[in-house]
Structure 1
Amino acid sequence: MVWFKVDDSFYDHPKTEDLSDSAIALWTRAGSYCARHLTDGYIGHRKAARMCDNPESAISELVAAGLWEKEAGGYRFHDWHEYQPTREESLAASKGRSIGGAVGNHRRWHVERGILDRDCRYCLADPHRSTDRSADRMTDRSTESLPNPPSRPDPARPTEEHPSDVLFGDASAEPAKPRKRTEPATRIPDDFTVTKAMVAWAGEETPLVNGKWETDQFIDYWRAADGRTSRKKDWVAAWRTWMRKAQKAAEARQSRVPVQQPRQSGLPAGYESRGTIAHSNHQGPSRESAQARKWRECNEIGAALDEQFAQNGGRL
């Protein structure tokens, strides 16, 4: 597949910012046509006339802007070879990909399996070859010519690579290190138990948590759970996370416990010494209950007797 490249400054270039939509559409479609058919930027007049609305006006705009040049029977993109690959370069790249595919098939189906195929040119080049890929690599280099590298930088290629390194690999490069296999996630084991080390950890990190009760909750929850989250790679770490959350919840409950005020002697909590209702945090007046009224009446009688006792000089 050949790509038609469009510069990222095309949208506001002085040659294009005043073009009509028809002219832009014609230029883009004609470019993809030339890239696919390897015409080196040439397109016939009849073909161009079918690619947009108002083709005569669009063609005139492109010629006047200097994007197209008139030629016999059609038009050619201005400086096509400065921005797009030539026909020869595209064919060479395609041939290089074909060689790479053929070498890959030869390695996979013949070298790795120890098969000598009479119809394979790489097998016939060295019928006594071993299964070592280096011999196959040298055989291919001696019988096939490599495609020429691009004559200009290609923005699609971040680094410059020689075609031989792409097709056959860099012999001087260090072999890739094998990837470390990770253990798959599993459901909670049926024999999940808390070890002595886990108990010691819980005693230091989660002192407010009922360890046995929370562990039972942990096991029941994850055995009943379903879906992707029900699988863990480290169930001991998951248990520690569960216990930390339980510790935070216990600390939050402990901070919310109200501090009880000491009761006054002889009176129930919530009442003052003369039977009036004590002030509380809730808003609005409170109704006097029967018990509070009884205490108030008793206090009033006691106060009257005390006053009479004082007036009579200590006699009733």
Structure 2
Amino acid sequence: MPWFKIDDKAHSHPKWLKAGNAAIGLFVRAGSYSAQHLTEGIVPGAVAQLYGTAPQAAKLVKVGLWHDSSHDCPRCPQAAAGDFVIHDFFEDGRNVTKAKDEANKKAAAGRAAKSRAARNANQNASENASNRSRFADENETNRGRKEPHFQDSAAGQKGSSHRTPASSAADAHATTTPYPVLSFGENGAPPTTERAAAYPDRLTDLKKAIAAAGIAGIEWRLRESQWEYTRQAVERVGIPAMVAYAVRSAQLKGVPNGASAWVDGWTSLEATPENGVTYLPAVVGLPSTPSRTDQKVAGGLSLAARLAAEENAR
């Protein structure tokens, strides 16, 4: 923003003393107008009439602070008829020209753009460093987490369990094969049909129960360890308790993109009487009068209980 500047000795200058306070008031207001609108010292006649009187304008012309349209000062531009010119408006660089002001604004805009670019670069670098640190911490945590160890007796190596058909030793061994990651690999390609078909999806019942509870659009891209933790949770606490946890988490935090957001919570669940289906409405915090959402949750839990019962009966 340009300024209208005057000398610090102007208050005692002979021209100011001869003009008087009233005319000097017009001089200062008109000079401020010229600086704001970049008229380069030109004072339109309408502005002079707005801020002062004709005698005051005439006095400024008489003492030499202003020129009218018929002046012969070689240092000042000519004004249109009825307008005035402030004498020596640019003397000693006190006031800036329109071209200089535009150049100053352009330079300031350039400096601001460089400053924003530098801030953005620093912010991006900081975020990248933070992300690298977070990923490193997560990798370190994953490396420190022990994979579950199964004894041969628990893995079906010494005879078949009540769920394993006693058709052959090879079939019994196949049921203990670790379940793979059924998500896309590092190269973005989906698993081959032969590989995916070789491993049955042991979480089908859990997926159906969560969908029946009204939670849709969940991706099941789990790492091998997450897949195994989830399967263990199914056997430890049952599908109804896991559905209840997922519903409560969705109500409090919103529906996540993928089921991996629930794995840590499922891992921390313990098999207690409160995990039974009859206790779930109180755990989830549902109102006493069932709503449509409550009915979906109840239906999902009922389906989960039925699927668990069918699984136990096999």
TM range (shorter): 0.3 to 0.5
Ranked by relative contact order (alpha carbons within 8 Å, sequence separation 6 or more), the top structure is 2
Q: Which has the higher helix share?
A: 2
- Give the structure with higher Rg (CA): 1
